[in-house]
């Protein structure tokens, strides 16, 4: 059985097998981006990768497994791991939030994330696959929950309070503007190239802009009578 699977994987050489696996992922990404998960075919992906159709089953079990690996690599390009590192550090909630924003904005560096990766996310929003729920539960939700806790500490409100959620969404929205509106941004402000220096300015602006409001909310919350604060919980 092992020998049969090795033949299907196209080579007994671990290096060759790993290369075939990566070629499948690299070929699948642009095809999924162009056609969406449901319209893309394994045969087309394998043809572009120069691999046997059976190689998808060998390396990923099925098309969905291949697609999930493509999404995982998109996640890496989005600097999700760096965001986790920023959340794990010690420091004041304000400093940690600033570093979280900076870590995510750095994912906008040239070549960090490709246009086809953004198109895959657009397909997911329009026609979700089972992978979307998995990635939300495994990756996005834990980060979102920690962001709520962080902002809740700054504004003095519970993480699940509506105001805390709205503040978190505002911070996220400012970052996502630059993620998804890149082509529009380039036309609105062609002189503002996304250089490393500009990304640092953008990160600092989002942090300064957000923290100014969060501090004001915190002051307002602390000045409320105690029974109002308890009711808000």
Q: Where are the domains of the chain?
A: 2-73, 78-232
d(CA 57, CA 28): 14
Considering only residues 225 and 199, tell me which one the structure prediction assigns the higher pLDDT: 199
Q: What is the pLDDT of residues 28-74, one digit of tens each?
A: 999 999 999 999 999 999 999 999 999 999 999 999 999 999 998 88
Q: Are 105 and 178 in contact (CB under 8 A)?
A: yes
- pLDDT at position 12 over 70: no
* CA 72 to each of CA 134, 147, 220: distance values in angstroms, whole numbers, following the listed order: 11, 21, 41
d(CA 92, CA 128): 37
* CA 53 to each of CA 58, 62, 131, 185: distance values in angstroms, whole numbers, following the listed order: 9, 10, 22, 41
d(CA 82, CA 148): 18
Q: Which pair of structure tokens corresponds to residue 122?
A: 């657009």
- pLDDT at position 2 over 50: no
Q: What is the pLDDT of residues 120-130, one digit of tens each?
A: 988 998 999 99
d(CA 231, CA 5): 62
Considering the domain 2-73 in this protein, what is its CATH number? 1.10.10.60
Q: Are 139 and 78 in contact (CB under 8 A)?
A: no
Q: How far is CA 4 from the centre of its chain?
A: 37
Portion of the chain with pLDDT greater than 70, in percent: 88
Portion of the chain with pLDDT greater than 90, in percent: 61
Q: What DSSP letter does each residue of 45-67 carry, written as one string?
A: HHHHHT--THHHHHHHSSHHHHH
pLDDT at 110: 64
Q: What is the pLDDT of residues 144-177, one digit of tens each?
A: 999 999 999 999 999 999 999 999 999 999 998 8
Ramachandran category for residue 61: left, alpha or beta (phi over 0 → left; psi -120 to 50 → alpha): left
Q: How many Cβ atoms are within 10 Å of 25's Cβ, its own excluded?
A: 19
d(CA 102, CA 204): 7
Considering only residues 115 and 119, tell me which one the structure prediction assigns the higher pLDDT: 119
Q: What fold is seen in the domain 78-232?
A: Tetracycline Repressor; domain 2 (1.10.357)
Confidence of residue 6 (pLDDT cuts 50, 70, 90): very low
């Amino acid at each position: 059985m092992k020998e049969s699977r090795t033949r299907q994987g196209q080579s007994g050489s671990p290096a060759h097998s790993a290369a075939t696996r990566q070629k499948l992922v690299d070929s699948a990404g642009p095809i999924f981006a162009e056609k969406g998960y449901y319209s893309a075919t394994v045969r087309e992906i394998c043809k572009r990768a120069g691999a046997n159709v059976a190689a998808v089953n060998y390396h990923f079990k099925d098309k969905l497994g291949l697609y999930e690996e493509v999404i995982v690599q998109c996640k890496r390009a989005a600097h999700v791991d760096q965001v986790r590192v920023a959340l794990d550090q010690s420091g004041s909630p304000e400093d940690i939030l600033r570093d979280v924003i900076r870590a995510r904005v750095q994912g906008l560096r040239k070549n960090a994330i490709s246009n086809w990766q953004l198109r895959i996310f657009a397909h997911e929003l329009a026609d979700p696959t089972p992978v979307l729920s998995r990635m939300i539960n495994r990756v996005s939700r834990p980060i979102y929950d920690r962001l709520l806790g962080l902002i809740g500490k700054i504004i003095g409100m519970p993480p699940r309070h509506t105001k805390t959620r709205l503040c978190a969404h505002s911070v996220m929205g400012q970052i996502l503007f630059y993620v998804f509106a890149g082509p529009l941004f380039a036309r609105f402000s062609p002189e503002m190239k996304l250089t490393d220096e500009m990304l640092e300015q953008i990160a600092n602006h989002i942090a300064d802009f957000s923290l100014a409001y969060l501090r004001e909310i915190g002051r307002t919350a602390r000045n409320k009578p105690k029974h109002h604060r308890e009711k808000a919980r």
